[in-house]
Amino acid sequence: MPLAGRNVIVTGAASGIGLATAQRFAREGANVAIWDLNEEGAQRSAAELQASGVKAIGSRVDVSNRKSVDAAVEQFHAKIGQVSVLVNNAGITLFQPFMETTEEQWDRVMLINLKSMLVCTQAVLPDMLAAKWGRIINVSSSSAQTGSARMTAYAASKGGVIGFTKSLAQELAATGITVNNVPPGFVDTPMLRNEGVAGLGVSVDAVAARSPMGRPGRPENMAAAIVFLATDDADYITGHTLNVNGGRYSS
C-alpha cells in the first residue's frame, strides 16, 4: 500500500468529499484523523475506519479557530503521531445575490474557507519540515475558475485557496513538502443536495444534465485525485491545480 505508515488529517470529513477522501487514505494504509464540526459524524466515521485496521480518530474542530486546531493537533500527536499529510477540505457555500450578501455572511465564508488554510497549515507544517516530507492538498472549486452567479463570496474565497496553493508551493518547494489543490466541479454531496438545490433553484440532476458529461461527479472521484497527490508518484508536482470537473473547465 503506497501510503502505509503515513499520518493524515482531513478537515470537513464527516461526509461528502472529505469522508470519501478519508476512506480512500485508509484503504491505502494511512492513519487518518477526521476533523469536522459534526463531532458525532466524525467519530462514527473514524470508528468505521478503525475496523479496517488503521489508526483513526474523529474530532470536533473549528478549522478557523487556532485554539481548536492546536488542541486537535495535540490529540493527533498523542494518538497517531506526526502529521504527514493535510487535506484542507472543510468549507461552506453561500448562494446569495451579491447585493444581498451581508458583511457577516462574507466574513463567515472567508473564515471557514480561507482563514482555515492559514490556521490548519501553520499548525502542521513543523511536523513536515522536521521530516523533510509532507503533502498539503487544498480543495478549491471550479466556481473560482469559471465564476458563478449568486456565489461571489464563495468563489472569491476559493480563488484565494488557489492563490494560497501556488504561493505556498513556491515557498516550500525545496523542503520536501508539496502543495497542490483540487477544484471539484459539480459533485453530488449532502451539502449540494441540502443547500445547492435551494440556492440554484433547480435540481441537482437538472444542472448535471447540462454539464459536458451529463452527470454529477462522485466524492470518490475527488478522493482519488487528492490521494494521488499525496503519494510519492506525485513528488515532482507542486503548485498545481488538478481539475476534476467532468469537462466543466479546461486549462
- DSSP letter for 241, please: B
CB 89 within 8 A of CB 139: yes
How far is the C-alpha of 64 from the C-alpha of 114, rounded, in Å? 8
CB 171 within 8 A of CB 239: no
How far is the C-alpha of 178 from the C-alpha of 174, rounded, in Å? 9
Q: Which of 106, 154, 164, 228 is catalytic?
A: 154
On the CB side of 64, how many CA atoms lie within 13 Å of its CA?
Answer: 13
Question: In degrees rounded to 5, what are phi and psi of residue 135?
Answer: -135, 125
Q: Which residue in 238, 191, 248 sits closest to 215, CA to CA? A: 248
CB 249 within 8 A of CB 145: yes
Residues ≥6 apart with Cβ < 8 Å to 51? none
CB 137 within 8 A of CB 181: yes
Is 154 catalytic? The answer is: yes
Q: Which residues are catalytic?
A: 154
